Amino acid sequence: MKSFIVGMTVAAGLMVAGSAMAEDMPPLAKKNGCTACHAIDHKVVGPAWMDVSKKYKGVKTYKYSNNGSAAPDAKEFPLVEGLMMKVSKGGHGNWGTAAMVPNDPAGKKQPEIKELVEFVLGLAK
């Protein structure tokens, strides 16, 4: 009986932990290979998307240069547009030494990238 109660307690804890997850990665993120470097709730190669969302919550603009955010040639853009450029063209300097690889240098997946950027920004409610 004691092992049954312990088992039920563990199962209930796991169910609560599972339901506490922010959200699952959208299919679009899996399709575009985002999951190779990112997760919702923990750092992989790149930052957790929840951390990205928290960092930019309430921010209106984003400085972008594929040479790094503090580079002399960095220009300021509206937040979503700037983050779309970062995802599309790549860059580094915002989250340590790991570089964001270009994901759409030809600019053919902009609607998908915009959807993903808006998803990420919406995680911090």
Cα radius of gyration rounded to whole Å, the chain: 18
Residue ranges of the domains in the chain?
23-121
Q: What is the mean pLDDT of residues 117-121?
A: 97
How far is it, in rounded angstroms, from Cα 28 to Cα 20? 22
How far is it, in rounded angstroms, from Cα 86 to Cα 68? 10
Nearest to 76 by CA among 95, 60, 97: 60
Instruction: Report pLDDT for 23.
Output: 63
SS3 state at 25: coil
pTM given for the model: 0.78
Whether 1 has a pLDDT exceeding 80, the answer reads: no
Nearest to 25 by CA among 119, 111, 96, 118: 119
Instruction: Report pLDDT for 20.
Output: 35
- Count of other CB atoms within 10 angstroms of residue 12: 10
Instruction: Report pLDDT for 98.
Output: 86
pLDDT tens sequence across 13-25: 444 333 334 468 9
Which tokens belong to 80? 């979503």
CATH of domain 23-121: 1.10.760.10
How far is it, in rounded angstroms, from Cα 51 to Cα 123? 9
pLDDT tens sequence across 61-78: 999 987 877 788 889 999
